[in-house]
Amino acid sequence: MEHLSNGEWTLMNALWERQPATVAQLVHALAPETGWSKHTIITMLSRLEKKGAVAHRENGRAKEFWPVLDQADACRRETRSFLDRLYGGSLGLMVSTLVGTEALTPD
């Protein structure tokens, strides 16, 4: 599975919350946050389908989309990619960096 862009994450989160969903439902759900047009969402869904992250079926005049990519798997993969890119795969180095920049309480 290819890396998901920030916009693709936004769209996938909407699908994980309300699956299956039509383009019109996604436009309505994402409008306050993104203001994306119908055409933008259709383009992104097409890219996500090519990546194997979503699938669709014809339901009358509208297509219904649902995530094929499991949310927990996507999060694990993204976390691993983040660790590898920024910290050479070292969870300890990441925690050390966070501890060095954030004040810890006794709790």
Collapsing DSSP to helix, strand or coil, 107 comes out as: coil
Residue range 17-60, pLDDT digits in tens: 999 999 999 999 999 999 999 999 999 999 999 999 999 999 88
pLDDT band at 90 (very low <50, low <70, confident <90, very high): confident
Instruction: Give the helix/strand (H/E) hosting 101.
Output: helix 91-101
Of residues 25 and 103, the one with the higher pLDDT is 25
